[in-house]
Amino acid sequence: MHKIISSLLLIVSVILIQLPIAADASAASAEKSEKPKRKTQLVGPAVGKKVGKAFELYSADDIPGALALLLDIEAKKDYDKAYVSRFIAVMYATLGNEEAKAIEYLKAAVEPDILNEADHGESIKLLADLQMQTKRYEEALVNYKAWMDFTGKSDGDTWTKIANAYYALKQLDKMIVPADNAIAAYGDKHNKNPYILKVTSYYERKKYREAVDTLETVIQIFPEDKTWWTQLGMFYLLVEDYKKALETLVLAYKQGFLEKESEIKTLASLYSQNAVPYKAAVLLEKHIDSGLVKRDDKNLSSLANAWHAAQHIDKAAKYYGELAKMTNSAKHYSKQGMLLKQDEQFKAAIVALNKALELGVKDEGKLHMSIAESHFYLEQYKQAYKAINLAMKDPKTRKSAKGWVGFIKDTAQRKNVSL
């Protein structure tokens, strides 16, 4: 079970939303809020001229040139310093691999709290996103909250990032509320990431029932996503609801969602556990023949057992025979021989049982008894008599063999066969 769950273990891969990067204050717009808007400020003429040239270089994709020009600006006023710092931070963020410098300049831009409203809000959010990227999760949480407090906004992406930050910090119990907030914020524009985070939180805290409840909801929202079907089936196994596990994986299989060997084997096992061995056998046979399920001793044994449980003795004997050749194991030859005898394939049964005796078995008397019976039904009374006498030597089968001795003698006498 541990391997199954491990194989199907949930991977949290919440991708940070592409960061909006804008250098011009006029390009950003803030939603109206009840709080008074701060007074709009403009950079001084000298600084504005250099910023304009930098923006031209930025627009022409000359990021290094724009950055060099901005770094050369010696602003005097606090607002100009904050504005230029924000622009420099954006350049570093655009370059990539310079997140630390971008964070440094964003902090300088945000700390005085004097940027125009839209710029200040976007700067806080960008700062939080960069802190997430650089694994400064606690700082990111502070700034996501600061962004929401300042702007009065919240969105699904931000709540998802907050839940993801708590996951990274291993504060698993704190993931649920922001994940639920994200789900509510997304509304009809469903996003699977907060659901992944919820299931992960519940799974890692061993709250399997809660994980099942979440997955039952998710599967209705994303019915086309095969991952949810297999995960729900596996979680039903964890809570030992084998009937629902079977029903779920059967539906997943019918939709073509079970594509891994482990998934097919799990479904076959569930068929067997729910007393439907025939379907288990058909399923395993199909996918062993296709190559999806390995044709090894373990899987052939499961297939042979399933056919046996389904009372398809000939098929069970066939696969025990293949298994016996693969492993050269006495117990498999013995099983094959017993089933062949049961299926009245007496000649083949004798061959298999003798091979088992040759390889060495503990219950020799039982095998000699079966060989004697097979010879008897083939009207080979001399061989039957020889085999039954060998069975007489085993204390475990001596009593049963005695009854056969007289029966074989009498039948041979009636058939005019000399023993």
Which tens digits make up the pLDDT trace of 66-75? 899 889 898 8
Assigned domain for 279 exists: yes
Structure tokens at 70: 């901005």
* Residue at a domain's end among 361, 376, 398: 361
User: Do 297 and 352 sit in the same domain of this protein?
Assistant: yes
Residue 252 lies in a domain: no
Nearest-Å Rg of the Cα atoms of the chain is 37
Same domain, 20 and 142: yes
Domain boundary among 138, 153, 168: 153
Per-position b or e across 38-53, b if 16+ CB within 10 A of its CB: eeebebeeebeebbee
Single pTM value for the model: 0.79
Q: Is residue 303 located within the same domain as residue 379?
A: no
Burial of 152 (0-12, 13-18, 19+ CB in 10 A): middle
Domain ranges, residue 388: 363-419
Specify the residue for token string 């708590």.
Answer: 166
Say what the pLDDT of residue 38 is: 80
Min mean pLDDT across 27-31, 241-245, 400-404 is at: 27-31
Residue 207 lies in a domain: no
Q: How many domains does one find in the chain?
A: 3
**8 Å CB contact between 372 and 343:** no
> Do 372 and 355 lie in a common domain?
no
Q: Using the predicted structure, report yes or no on whether residue 25 has a pLDDT greater than 80.
A: no
Task: Report how far residue 122's alpha carbon sits from residue 132's, in angstroms, rounded to the nearest whole number.
Answer: 15
Contact 107, 124 (CB under 8 A): no
Calpha distance 103→126 (Å, rounded): 9
How far is CA 36 from each of CA 115, 116, 124, 147, 150, rounded to the nearest angstrom? 15, 12, 19, 16, 11
Q: Are residues 19 and 97 in the same domain?
A: yes
Percent of the chain with pLDDT over 90: 79
Q: Is the pLDDT of residue 29 over 50?
A: no
Task: Tell whether 123 and 65 lie within a shared domain.
Answer: yes
Same domain, 49 and 136: yes
Q: What's the confidence (pLDDT) of residue 75?
A: 86
Has residue 169 been placed in a domain? no
Is residue 193 a part of any domain in this protein? Answer: no
Q: Residue 30's pLDDT band (boundaries 50, 70, 90)? A: very low
Residues 144 and 20 in one domain: yes
126 and 18 share one domain: yes
- Is 116 part of any domain? yes
pLDDT of residue 419: 83
Residues 45 and 126 in one domain: yes
> Which residue is associated with the tokens 């809660």?
210
Q: Is 180 within the bounds of a domain?
A: no
The span from the CA of 342 to the CA of 346, in Å, is: 9
pLDDT tens sequence across 82-105? 999 999 999 999 888 899 999 999
Residue 238 has pLDDT above 80, yes or no: yes
CATH code where residue 311 lies: 1.25.40.10
Any domain includes 228: no
Is 380 found in the same domain as 279? no
Asked if residue 273 and residue 373 are part of one domain, the reply reads: no
Tell which of 345, 361, 377 closes a domain: 361
